[in-house]
Structure 1
Amino acid sequence: MTLGLVGVQLAVYVRTAAAGPLDVDAMVRFGAKVGPLMTEAGESWRLLTANFLHRDAAHLGLNLLVLVAAGSVLEGAWRRLEYAALLVAAGLATMTSSLLWAEEVSVGASGMAYGCVGALIVLGRRYRAVLSPMARRMAGEGVLPTVLVFLWMGWTSVGVDNAGHLGGFCSGLLVGLFVVPRRLTAGEPRSAEWLRAGSVVAVAVVVAGLGVLGRSTWRVERDDVFGVSVAMPSSWRQGADRLGRLAFSNGLPGLGRATFVAEAIQTGEPGDGGLQAVHFQESALAAEAVLPEGRPVKVRGPRPAWVSGGPAQEVQAELQGADGVTHLRALFVPRGEFVYQLVFTWPGRFPRYRRVVERMVAELRLEEPSMLREARARALLVPGASEPLAQLGSALRRWGRPAEAVEPLREAVRLAPSQVATRVELARAFLESGHVEEGCHAAEEARVYGPSETGALEAGVRCELARGDTERALARLEEARRVAPQDPRLRAAEAALRATVKAGGR
């Protein structure tokens, strides 16, 4: 059985080596222990397959040397079915321990080798009298110090899966306590051997299952600056991404990588998710664009969606890269003068990740950002002061709550009637909450207090647009342009309004 295991390990290594160096992507492809794919994509079978992969010939040779030395002694002393149960238990315990306490992608039969050594130590301590001379030498007093030295060397080295080694070693110690050499069980029925072996494997499978479930937890990540709250798998970590300032991923560098990226885009006007979605398509998903996951080959949308209790626009795409297809789902959620750009990507090779993304979208919440909470706090700490009230009203309006902004802005105007900027904010809050006449009245008052200020003149433009009179709005805008001829925003707005009037829009 030991030689058969060695033969399988050699055959697998020849097969993987023929495909090229076993880098991280290759390990993922062939079945390495990859935490996110096991807990999020349902690939628990990697607990077994990872024991048959090796990075290079030296890695393979060292593991097989220990397996042959320790495993052949156990196979000679135990019944073969119980020995096979030890190998299965050690392999599962190795990768389960690695899953629980190590984030690296792991491969190798070293855990099975450590399991054999652990069982050999127990065998030598408990049944030394019935062992053959060679077995007594192998299970002698020097085995435990040697193992401890190897564990210490692994713990002080880089790139060694010490958690897996320790898990395999401990499983060998435990199994060794329950297995009796076959010389002492000659009269036992075969069913007793099946019972012991089956119990060992059953316990190992249950522990492995609990380990996978224990890592399959989710957490809620909150970002105060963005006001974004999103549930995600606990193994995801924050990083960097070109599509946004707030980025998380499952930690894989290439094959199997899944990401979530958020950005709050300030538009200066009540946000339009559709415009941002089109801009995203034309820039990030253009035919000539190249994202880290590959080139866009299929782009669909924008289409209406619903996120965090409000309307949004959605764009979907497929990115073709060296590792296959990566799916992209981008959501654009307007909130006042901001549009939240939320981008999810997941590998097409692992389709169950779609469920992960769907859950993240369903549980995503857009909450008050820190800027708005701080404005509330200042207004409470300094009651009766116009400036904190004006700042609160402005923050409420900018983050999509114009109706709530009216009251603090109205009070700020009462306390400081000469503040034109506050009157302009009040006019905008009225107009954006649908109170057109109140907004126009506030805009006229702002113009009285600041006849030559562009903000007051802009408020008049917004009033006429809210009334649906683009020609009067253009006249007001021309007046504002005479006051500030170099203002690029006014110039762009004038060009857009002229085009609308020319086309007959009114």
Structure 2
Amino acid sequence: MAGPLTLRTDAGDEELDLGDFEARITAGEVSPQSQVRFPAVTGDRFVAACELEVYQRLHKPRSAYFQRTFRLSHFPWLTSGIIMLNVAIFLLTTENGVLQLDDKVLHGAKVGPLILDLGELWRLFTANFLHHDALHIGLNMFVLFNVGYVLENTYRTLDYIWLLVFSGIATMATSLLFNDSITVGASGIVFGCMGGVVAFGLRYQKQLPALYRTLLSNAAIPIVLGLLLIGVTSQGVDNGAHFGGLLAGLATGFFLRPRLLIEARRFWWEPALRALPSFAVLTLIFFGQQLFFGQFLPRMRVERYDVHGLSIPVPSDWMAGADPMGDAWFNGLPSAGRASVVAHAIDMPDGADVHEAARRFTEERLVPRQLGDDVTSVKIEAQEPWRVGDRDGLRIRATVNEINGGLRRMQVILVPRGTMVVALVSAWPAAFPRYGQVADMIVQGLRFSEPRALRHVRAEALLFPNSPDALAPLGLALLHQGEASAATDALAAAVRGAPSVVSYRVALARALLDSGEIERGCAAAAAALTYEPDDAQALEADARCELARGRPRRALERLVQARASAPGDERLREVESKLRATLPELR
């Protein structure tokens, strides 16, 4: 049956129906000068195809040119250069063919805490150029060469670079959102390139030459799905990164146009305009922390150290951990990137003395055997006055040397509070100095609140307002927190309720002396001695009274008596030694 129109070709006249004719026009298989007879329009005459309205509507010269000339025939020099760069970086960064975990951190892997705490967004880019071992880089580079070969022949160079940049950054950004692990590798870029190939094949399927139509559309999709399935069923694979790269490549590929379908450049600045997205994103990645948002990082949350009534701000992504010194929070990284802060309380029953606390902390805590088996030496860099809120404290700065040659910085802030000194110990790798600023932010946000024990005894005192057994613990807790004036009222009430309990009178004397009421304090100490003349605590309270009156020799006599009453009390021995050291004739 004859078709509704006739197409004259070199092989003779060919009868076509209208649908086939339109398909050939769209595919670029009918030239403008081809002779066509369309009885419904031309009658029995043959006319040039370009005279027909249907041809004018469907014919796209660039598409026809694309179908005739599209070939994957040029060597992918840019892709090969990227592969050589990856191989060079692999050889420079690995040891015995394997990139160790600490080296990943130091050389630019995607490390969540370093990005979120320090603003090192550049890691979202550099992580794509690091690989774990030879198999990892070998597989990635093999696939990258094959898919990059297609894209480099298809798109303009700057468009191809944008697809690579966007896919790589989207890969690591997705990994940052959904995976806490340290991530390296170009597999996300590889999936981005495969997404670009799939998008190109689907969008231009009808315009592709028959040779490439199946290869770049229908056949590409099962390959991508197969590679995704391999990743999902394998251990240690960052599948979130793969999906992020694939989606980025698909999105970019659907918006890019092949070079053969683009009209000739009309303005000299068009390449600069096309380079702008890549330049802008890379500028944000590498300089955003310094130029834009560094002052807003890290985001902090407040942790309560309820035992001692402290509120400590720490980066929101840090986790709680165990530490011999006390409550600790750290960024979850291995040694090369580990940063931490520890809250530690130093009990000082004779009153908080930050200089004495610094001496004890330096001698007992800042020594290799206390800091870990991998520590070889500790160097104290400085000890200087430091103010925290309305309290005068000290700051100790130290450098810790480790067996592997690594250096760590330590900062110890000592803040007095009642009969204890709070030590806030921050440590971070010397390779990441900005963690020192994070440590300062933590110190600046330190706040004191009522500790759990004080809340408990205060509640008991409210329930039993006339009970010496409830009032005395409240007074002692207040005295321990440095609230001597408030402690005086509670302890005075306890003494009135139980006048024969010497320990209550001793505590009252201590509270009065600490609040500056010397005569009342001395009277309370004398009353305690009246009840128990040989009580070591009462004698010590009287010694404090003599010191407050400026009579150190009489204070020493009282301490000697106290030591005789309690010969095994090491604290009294230490107090006596310190007092003797202040008297030249007794040294």
Structure-1-length-normalised TM-score: 0.88
Letter in 2 for 1:428: R
Match of 2:129 in 1: 52
The whole-number CA distance in structure 2 between the counterparts of 1:187 and 1:240 is: 66
Contact in 2 for aligned 1:272/1:339 (Cα 8 Å)? yes
- Equivalent residues, number: 504
**Structure of greater relative contact order (alpha carbons < 8 Å, 6+ residues apart):** 1
The whole-number CA distance in structure 2 between the counterparts of 1:239 and 1:360 is: 17
3-state DSSP class of the match of 2:428?
A: strand
3-state DSSP class of the match of 1:248?
A: strand
Contact in 2 for aligned 1:254/1:323 (Cα 8 Å)? no
Match of 1:302 in 2: 383
Q: Percent identity among equivalent residues?
A: 43
Contact in 2 for aligned 1:289/1:296 (Cα 8 Å)? no
Going from structure 1 to structure 2, the CA distance change for 1:114 and 1:316 (only over 3 Å counts) comes to same
1:122 aligns with 2:203: no
Give the one of 398, 404, 407 matched to 2:489. Answer: 407
1:13 aligns with 2:90: yes
3-state DSSP class of the match of 1:503?
A: helix
Cα shift readout 1:205-229 (whole Å, capped 9, x = no counterpart): 7699699879742222222123222
The whole-number CA distance in structure 2 between the counterparts of 1:260 and 1:293 is: 19
1:446 aligns with 2:528: yes
Going from structure 1 to structure 2, the CA distance change for 1:263 and 1:93 (only over 3 Å counts) comes to same
Going from structure 1 to structure 2, the CA distance change for 1:482 and 1:205 (only over 3 Å counts) comes to closer
Counting only pairs closer than 5 Å after superposition, residues 83-482 of structure 1 correspond to structure 2 as 83-133=160-210, 135-141=212-218, 143-144=220-221, 146-148=223-225, 150-151=227-228, 153-155=230-232, 157-186=234-263, 195=273, 198-199=276-277, 202=280, 216-242=298-324, 244-285=325-366, 291=372, 294-296=375-377, 298-321=379-402, 322-482=404-564
Which is further off, 439-448 or 392-401?
Answer: 439-448
Contact in 2 for aligned 1:297/1:318 (Cα 8 Å)? yes
Match of 2:143 in 1: 66
- Cα distance, 1:71 vs. partner? 2.4
Contact in 1 for aligned 2:94/2:100 (Cα 8 Å)? no
Cα shift readout 1:22-66 (whole Å, capped 9, x = no counterpart): 111211232222233334444332222211110101111221232
- Cα distance, 1:70 vs. partner? 2.4
Going from structure 1 to structure 2, the CA distance change for 1:204 and 1:169 (only over 3 Å counts) comes to farther
Contact in 2 for aligned 1:85/1:201 (Cα 8 Å)? no
Going from structure 1 to structure 2, the CA distance change for 1:154 and 1:365 (only over 3 Å counts) comes to farther
- Cα distance, 1:370 vs. partner? 1.7
The whole-number CA distance in structure 2 between the counterparts of 1:351 and 1:413 is: 55
Going from structure 1 to structure 2, the CA distance change for 1:397 and 1:198 (only over 3 Å counts) comes to same
Cα shift readout 1:234-287 (whole Å, capped 9, x = no counterpart): 232222334x21222222212233221221011222121111212233344459
Which is further off, 185-194 or 23-32?
Answer: 185-194
3-state DSSP class of the match of 1:368?
A: coil
Contact in 1 for aligned 2:158/2:271 (Cα 8 Å)? yes
The whole-number CA distance in structure 2 between the counterparts of 1:97 and 1:215 is: 20
Gaps of 5+ in 2: 1-77
Contact in 2 for aligned 1:38/1:212 (Cα 8 Å)? no
The whole-number CA distance in structure 2 between the counterparts of 1:252 and 1:126 is: 44
Cα shift readout 1:108-149 (whole Å, capped 9, x = no counterpart): 001101111222222232221223456434444464455445
3-state DSSP class of the match of 1:260?
A: strand
Cα shift readout 1:336-383 (whole Å, capped 9, x = no counterpart): 111112222233223333322222222222332222222223223333
Going from structure 1 to structure 2, the CA distance change for 1:122 and 1:271 (only over 3 Å counts) comes to same
The whole-number CA distance in structure 2 between the counterparts of 1:148 and 1:397 is: 69
The whole-number CA distance in structure 2 between the counterparts of 1:143 and 1:385 is: 84
Going from structure 1 to structure 2, the CA distance change for 1:76 and 1:129 (only over 3 Å counts) comes to farther
The whole-number CA distance in structure 1 between the counterparts of 2:503 and 2:211 is: 93
3-state DSSP class of the match of 2:409?
A: strand
Gaps of 5+ in 1: none
Structure-2-length-normalised TM-score: 0.77
3-state DSSP class of the match of 2:322?
A: strand
Contact in 1 for aligned 2:298/2:438 (Cα 8 Å)? no
The whole-number CA distance in structure 2 between the counterparts of 1:307 and 1:156 is: 53
Going from structure 1 to structure 2, the CA distance change for 1:131 and 1:227 (only over 3 Å counts) comes to farther
3-state DSSP class of the match of 1:241?
A: coil
- Cα distance, 1:290 vs. partner? 6.4
3-state DSSP class of the match of 1:128?
A: coil
The whole-number CA distance in structure 2 between the counterparts of 1:69 and 1:296 is: 52
Contact in 2 for aligned 1:92/1:204 (Cα 8 Å)? no
3-state DSSP class of the match of 1:220?
A: strand
Letter in 1 for 2:498: A
3-state DSSP class of the match of 2:326?
A: strand
Going from structure 1 to structure 2, the CA distance change for 1:374 and 1:142 (only over 3 Å counts) comes to farther
Contact in 2 for aligned 1:289/1:295 (Cα 8 Å)? no
Alignment RMSD (CA, Å): 3.2
Going from structure 1 to structure 2, the CA distance change for 1:134 and 1:19 (only over 3 Å counts) comes to farther
Letter in 2 for 1:267: M
